[in-house]
Amino acid sequence: MSSEDELEPLFSVTSQQRTHAPPAEREAVVRALPLSFRDDAALAQAAAEGHPAAAREIWDRHAATVRGLLRRMVGPGELDDLVQETFLRFFDNVSRLREPDKLTSFLIGISVRIAREELRRRRVRRWLTLRPPPLMPEPVTTTDFDAAEALHRLYEILDRLDPDTRLVFVLRYVEEIPASELTEVLGCSLATAKRRVKRATELIEKMALRDPTLMAFIQADRKSGPHLRGEP
């Protein structure tokens, strides 16, 4: 850099100072997001420190995971607000994250809490309106109409469950989180987690067995081999 470009010493500028200081004194100190922030621990630390680019980076990295998880926990429909709430709670609480490299687990835990609250709100609304809300219309993401119908019936079954049972089923079997890790996510003991998994398994199997459309799809699926969405 030339002497003309020599930089003034760094100083901290508050928004008030920035507004009222004459142009020549207005300097902005900007910190880049270096490649090392791709590591979750460094990213969590950056978020806790209020790094200006952390929100964007965390969204790019984890929004798809959070959205997918919320969808499977609460069902298809408008998820934008739930996703936003998940990340906002993350930023509100990230400074309390004791193990920064557990950023993903932290986010999953928040997503579970958000999902539980949403499911409880829906049950209350259902009780007040005396009828179940219809599944929101949305493009299906399966490859054939049989699967689409089966998926619709499956979400209807899940909608009839209490929030905790539904969450346990999704986390244990769909997200494949071992029972030992469910204790952290659900905030309960291992014995309680296993008991909830067992109860959820029995209840959902019983409900599925009574649904001919869902059972027909499952049985056809088992006969034809692993259902991998129509791959060649």
Partner 1 sequence: MTQETNIISSMAALLRADVPDVDPTHDAAERDRLVEAVLVRRSRSGWQRHKPAMKWIGGMALAAAVVTALLIAWPNAALDYQIQGAALAEGGYVRAENEDAKVTFSEGSEVLIARGSVARIVDVGPHGARVVLETGRAALSITHLSKTEWSIAAGPFVVEVTGTRFTVDWQPAQQQLEVKLEQGSVLVRGPLLADGVSLREGQKLLAELPARRVEIAELSDAPVAQETSAAPQAQKDAAPVQSVVPPAPAERVPWSKRVAAGEFQIVLDEAQARGIESVLASGSLDDLMALSDAARYAARGDLAHRALTAVRSRFAKSDAARTAAFLLGRLAEGGSSAAAIDWYDRYLAEAPGGTFAAEALGRKMLLLRSRAPAQARGVAEQYLKRFPKGAYAQVARDLLGK
> Residues 34 to 53: which contact partner 1 by CB under 8 A?
34-36, 38-39, 48-53
CA distance 14 to 18: 6
User: If binding is defined by CB under 8 A, does position 149 make contact with partner 1?
Assistant: no
Q: What is the smallest separation between the CB atom of 86 and partner 1, expressed in angstroms?
A: 10
Q: What is the smallest separation between the CB atom of 11 and partner 1, expressed in angstroms?
A: 7
Q: What is the smallest separation between the CB atom of 193 and partner 1, expressed in angstroms?
A: 17
Extract the tokens encoding 119.
């499911």
Instruction: Please state the three-class secondary structure of 131-176 as a single string.
Output: CCCCCCCCCCCCCCHHHHHHHHHHHHHHHHCCHHHHHHHHHHHHCC
User: If binding is defined by CB under 8 A, does position 216 make contact with partner 1?
Assistant: no
User: If binding is defined by CB under 8 A, does position 154 make contact with partner 1?
Assistant: yes
> Which of 138, 21, 3 has its CA nearest to residue 76?
138
Residues 15-34 that bind partner 1 (CB under 8 A): 15, 18, 23, 26-34
DSSP state letter for 37: G
Residues 106-135 that bind partner 1 (CB under 8 A): none
User: If binding is defined by CB under 8 A, does position 59 make contact with partner 1?
Assistant: yes
If you count them, how many residues does the chain have? 232
User: If binding is defined by CB under 8 A, does position 146 make contact with partner 1?
Assistant: no
What is the number of other CB atoms lying within 10 angstroms of the CB of residue 53?
16
Closest to partner 1 by CB, 46 or 186: 46
Among residues 3, 4, 7, 96, the one that binds partner 1 under rule CB under 8 A: 7
Residues 159-178 that bind partner 1 (CB under 8 A): 170, 173-174
Phi, psi of 113 (to 5 degrees): -65, -45
Residues 182-211 that bind partner 1 (CB under 8 A): 201, 204-205, 208-209
Residues that contact partner 1, how many (by CB under 8 A): 85
Q: What is the smallest separation between the CB atom of 75 and partner 1, expressed in angstroms?
A: 10
CA distance 23 to 217: 69
Among residues 111, 218, 223, 224, the one that binds partner 1 under rule CB under 8 A: 218
> Which of 125, 126, 96, 100 has its CA nearest to residue 42?
100
Among residues 134, 137, 212, 232, the one that binds partner 1 under rule CB under 8 A: 232
User: If binding is defined by CB under 8 A, does position 225 make contact with partner 1?
Assistant: no
> Which of 160, 183, 39 has its CA nearest to residue 112?
183
User: If binding is defined by CB under 8 A, does position 12 make contact with partner 1?
Assistant: yes
CA distance 163 to 95: 29
